[in-house]
Amino acid sequence: MSHKHEKLLHALFQERPAGNIHWREIEALLHHLGASVESLSGARLRVKLNGVEGVLHRPHHGNTLDRSGVQHVREYLAHARVTPALYEASRQPEPEVKKHPR
């Protein structure tokens, strides 16, 4: 994951998330994570990530999400098992298994 996506993921899961996250950054993160995104009617999107399907809403007036929009994206990502803690755990190197020479 790029530094930009990692920083966005941490910003989404802050205790008090910002209310000025750009929607295009969210879409880029979803695509980077391997999500399939399908446009529905209006501002709705069907997103499927890690076997979890959900409906997200693009911002209606402008390109940035307000706090409730950020909260909705955050809840969806948590259900899809994409959180900063899980990402950090997946980055930890596997312990080396030493083989004894015969």
What residues form DSSP beta bridges with 57?
44
What is the model's pTM? 0.80
Give per-10-residue mean pLDDT for the chain (102 aa). Answer: 83 82 92 92 92 92 88 93 80 64 63
Q: Which pLDDT belongs to residue 2?
A: 76
Encoded amino acid at 22, one letter:
H
Compute the mean pLDDT over every residue in the chain, rounded to the nearest whole number.
85
pLDDT value, residue 29: 92
Those residues whose C-beta lies under 8 Å from the C-beta of residue 18, and which sit 6 or more positions away, are: 11, 67, 70
